[in-house]
Structure 1
Amino acid sequence: MADAEMAPDQVVAGRYRLLRPLATGGTSQVWLAADEVLHRRVAVRRCGLTMPQARALARIGDPHLLGVLDVLPGDGEPWIVMEYVPARSLWQVVRETGPLEPARAATVGVAVLHALTVMGSAGVPHVDVEPATVLIGDAGRIVLSDVGPPLTGDSADADAVRGSARYRAPERAPGDGSTPPADLWSLGATLFHAVEGRPPIAGETPDPPRRAGRLTAVLEGLLRPDPSERPSPSEVEDALRRVVAPPPPAEEHPPAEAVPPASGRYRWAVLAAVTVIAAAAAGAAAAATTGDDHRAVPRPPAPATPSVRPHQALPRGYAWWNDPAGFRVAVPRGWRHRHDPGGVLALTAPAGLPTLRISRPAGRPPDVLTALTTEESRGRLTAYRRVRIEALPGPSAAVWEFTFQNSAGVVMRGQRRLLITDGHAYALEWRAPAAAWPANLPTVTVVLDSFEPVAGA
């Protein structure tokens, strides 16, 4: 099955009816197709990989990579059938709306870095990382696409088609395979474009960024001409996460002698990717299964007025909420609270969204991942779609992320987290309009990373 043979309305492998081209580059194309067996839309393309590599890619199942649904043998190179994610490329986003703020660009960087890491572990190369191959989904999901020869969604724009060379590490010649340090350089060039609105200028002297703010040091490290001088992937991830959610200024930290031991304290490191990556878990199973949009507007309004414990400082603009149920969490100042029946704490922004709901479910599930999967199977959310269900680092913690449509017809995104610590189960759920999800990620990170049981409660 050659590209030249592909045409609208053609049926591939007896089930995938081609609808229209999604992207093109060189001699290859990606097509939007209708799966006539499962009645869903998919993307079909020649992947430029060997069959073993294509099978390895299909086994990855990472939220920052397009899911592989089928592999079709071809002449020399297999074809892959992938999930279809309505999205714009990072290149299109910058062209249409302007450069990204450093924190948002860093969120994109965490997601792409995660995708590159899992691909490397599976032995699958990504030939070119560039703004045209990073997708920003309509629901906020960040995906690294185009495994194999690079494509672009705008074939009429010559700069987009020829862009790959401008994001290729200086040590890589055309046609060379990639290496982890070369991928990091390409990531740096991609993030440079995200904040500057253009790729870095080629040359022996790195092109200094001008709009990168807190991201400047990360870009300078990634774009070092000598591969041996570039930071490691783990160092890059740590630095990007500090840009997404910077620590409080040094002067706001209490003196060392004022920091008591945190007995029984559970620190929950939040995965970003986007990623990156946000918070969840409803206070009651009904919150995730009825399809209602729970807007936590207090009656009467009451601001969160916590008492700050001295052993953890917060970024400016946040305050502690100490709950009688035996936990505390940092929330933006001005957020309101309400205790619903059943002991569910609802915290909400003044505008009504986003919302955070926290509860202590009855009992202690033996496996948090299974518990979330069971909740999903019982759900009745309108236009529900799973983004991911996966375990989180640390003992007994898992996340379920999803999109749905609320009663007003707004596409929402939620993230439900379930964790067990100090012998108690806790459920947290963050809900926000899907269109605002990327902008909410810095707040989500601060809030969820701050959650902890209160010793002795």
Structure 2
Amino acid sequence: MGRVWQARDEMLHRDVAVKEIVPPAWLAEAEREDLRRRTLREARTAARLNHPNVVRIYDVVHDRESPWIVMEYVQSRSVEQMLAADGPLSPAITARIGLAVLAALRAAHSAGVLHRDVKPHNVLVAADGRVVLTDFGLATFTGGDAAMTGPGMILGSPHFVAPERARDGVSDPRTDLWSLGATLYAAVEGHPPYARDSAMATLTALATEPPDPMRRAGPLRPVLTGLLQRDPWRRLTAAEAEPLLRAAANAPAGPVESPGPVAPTVEEPPRPAPDAAPAAPGRLAAVRRAGRGRRVALGLTAMVVLLSTVGAAVALTDRARRPAEPSGGGAAASPTAPAAAFACASAPPPAARPVVSMPPPPGARFRLVPGWTWHTDPGGFRIAAPVDWLNWTEDSVTCFREPGGTRVLSVEWSAARADPAHWWRTEERRLTGGGSLPGYLRVDISPMDIFAGGAIWECVWLNAAGERMHTARLFANTSAERAYTVSWLTKEFDWQVNATYFAMIRQSFAPLT
């Protein structure tokens, strides 16, 4: 009932995706009206979610009473396209995609939104590794529009519909989690868990048989088994599935590992010259106008640069010492140990202690996301930190590290700098010149208007295991004498998944002296 076009927003000079609703000619007027309402509901539902793993909705316009949804254009391939072109994905890559989709679903469920159509076709993997959940056309939410499914009608793909939804038509967060499990099963095995010749045969198997045997899942087997439980009350919750997915993502490669790329290479589509007729291979088209004389001009939206990672590392220089020259988040490593170029890269020592949940301080300006707490440090600052992460001091650094994971957070006290951006460029030359950051790629070094002046350094490099890592490091002068460096570290593939965390960390950070 629709087509998606790549289009050009001529006012803001950016590519967008435009979903054109094309109702079949045989639909009655009442059914057409239902389709229009569903389209608006899709836009409103997705617009409620501000999350890096959910496609962004920019606008809805009308043309001859038909709605068009204007949304973010993601240069990507769907998981379905990846399977068709490259075959099954490796367990590790599948797990990383699963973590991203799970993060999107948790954000949706927290907002009261049920997706109801999670499947490989609706999971996009961008060329830079970002994973996006799209197509909320079947979504519903509590306290909003009623579900638009009629009696005896099942909307969605039979291969990815939860048993209780196929049987009783009920939907809740657990049905989305079953669909996530079926999607990940298809990604790693190359076919859905109930691969049958017809929709009726699929639904019959769904009601009476266990999923087809897994042959390639390897470390994904526990989480897939838990998500594909027929009884929704025995099914894994999102909180239970996340550590299993994270363990599978970090598991050593086994005999089932596939050499497929983490992020697919997507060719840049041809761009028409200014004022020229648009090229039209496939469905590439420039939509000049939609509606009666109304240009597809998207409303201006506030754009916040969110620095994120799967891990957080906060370095704080020794409180008892005189302020030293800042190391930018940790001492430099030798060329033979690139993973230690930044602080807190080593395993936590026996003295490490888990972060304990604490009540918010008086006058807290915002609430932290679940699982995070306010940490007041003896070094003279306060910051958001994840509960139960291991906390220890490493030389001049205080570290917070995810147990069994790669996320790290750090804060380092040092002397103030007159030009923080120049300082980061100096550190960049020192570390890259010494061979401590192989495969180095600068993302950004730029000043930031924070406290008494600061600068951000964001970069990508390869660690000792050959994994591509991504970090954002904020140097902030808090007075004429004192400065802090707040660092956030993760794997490159997971950078976008945790985008909102570093924004929260940065906003929560406050010097106390």
SS at match of 1:171: helix
Among the aligned pairs, what percent are the same residue? 37
Q: Which residue of 1 aligns with 2:487?
A: 428
Paired with 1:418 and 1:97, the residues of 2 have a C-alpha distance of 39
For 1:256-306, what per-residue CA distance to the aligned partner results, in whole angstroms no more than 9, with x for missing partners? xxxxxxxxxxxxxxxxxx997467999xxxxxxxxxxxxxxx998454688
Q: Kindly state the Cα deviation for residue 240 of structure 1 after the two structures are TM-superposed.
A: 1.4
Asked if the contact 1:353/1:431 (under 8 Å) is kept, the reply is: no
For 1:113-165, what per-residue CA distance to the aligned partner results, in whole angstroms no more than 9, with x for missing partners? 11122223334442311111100001110001111159xxxxxxxxxxx9922
| 1:183 and 2:176 aligned | yes
SS at match of 1:60: coil
| 1:39 and 2:110 aligned | no
Q: Which residue of 1 aligns with 2:161?
A: 168
Residues 404-443 of structure 1 aligned to structure 2 (within 5 Å) = 415-418=471-474, 425-428=484-487, 437-438=492-493
Q: Which residue of 1 aligns with 2:98?
A: 109
Q: Kindly state the Cα deviation for residue 195 of structure 1 after the two structures are TM-superposed.
A: 1.0
Structure number with greater Rg is 2
Paired with 2:425 and 2:5, the residues of 1 have a C-alpha distance of 50
Q: 1:92 to 1:281 in 2, by over 3 A?
A: farther
SS at match of 2:166: coil
Paired with 1:146 and 1:138, the residues of 2 have a C-alpha distance of 19
Paired with 2:79 and 2:469, the residues of 1 have a C-alpha distance of 20
SS at match of 2:47: helix
| 1:353 and 2:439 aligned | yes
Out of 53, 56, 60, which is 2:49 matched to?
Answer: 60
Paired with 1:225 and 1:349, the residues of 2 have a C-alpha distance of 53
Q: Which residue of 2 aligns with 1:82?
A: 71
Asked if the contact 2:309/2:490 (under 8 Å) is kept, the reply is: no
Count of aligned positions = 310
Paired with 1:311 and 1:356, the residues of 2 have a C-alpha distance of 35
Q: Which residue of 2 aligns with 1:209?
A: 214
Q: Kindly state the Cα deviation for residue 78 of structure 1 after the two structures are TM-superposed.
A: 4.3
Paired with 1:375 and 1:275, the residues of 2 have a C-alpha distance of 16
Q: Kindly state the Cα deviation for residue 66 of structure 1 after the two structures are TM-superposed.
A: 1.0
Paired with 2:214 and 2:487, the residues of 1 have a C-alpha distance of 38
Deviates more, 1:43-52 or 1:231-240: 43-52
Out of 213, 217, 220, which is 2:225 matched to?
Answer: 220
Q: Which residue of 2 aligns with 1:18?
A: none
Amino acid at match of 2:19: R
Q: Which runs of 5+ in 2 are unaligned?
A: 22-34, 140-154, 195-201, 253-306, 316-331, 341-345, 354-392, 407-422, 461-467, 477-481, 498-513
Paired with 2:83 and 2:314, the residues of 1 have a C-alpha distance of 33
Residues 353-392 of structure 1 aligned to structure 2 (within 5 Å) = 353-354=439-440, 365=451
SS at match of 2:71: strand
Asked if the contact 2:440/2:459 (under 8 Å) is kept, the reply is: no
Q: Which runs of 5+ in 1 are unaligned?
A: 1-26, 151-161, 248-273, 283-297, 314-321, 333-338, 380-400, 404-411, 443-457
Q: 1:349 to 1:100 in 2, by over 3 A?
A: farther
Q: Kindly state the Cα deviation for residue 46 of structure 1 after the two structures are TM-superposed.
A: 5.0
Asked if the contact 1:130/1:190 (under 8 Å) is kept, the reply is: yes
Paired with 1:59 and 1:441, the residues of 2 have a C-alpha distance of 19
Q: 1:117 to 1:363 in 2, by over 3 A?
A: closer
Out of 138, 157, 166, which is 2:127 matched to?
Answer: 138
What is the TM-score of this pair, normalised by structure 2? 0.48
Amino acid at match of 2:397: G
Paired with 1:95 and 1:349, the residues of 2 have a C-alpha distance of 40
For 1:36-79, what per-residue CA distance to the aligned partner results, in whole angstroms no more than 9, with x for missing partners? 11111100115863646633422422100111111225788743
Q: Which residue of 2 aligns with 1:326?
A: 397
Asked if the contact 1:111/1:276 (under 8 Å) is kept, the reply is: no
What RMSD over aligned residues (CA atoms) do the two structures have, in Å?
Answer: 5.3
Paired with 2:13 and 2:221, the residues of 1 have a C-alpha distance of 46
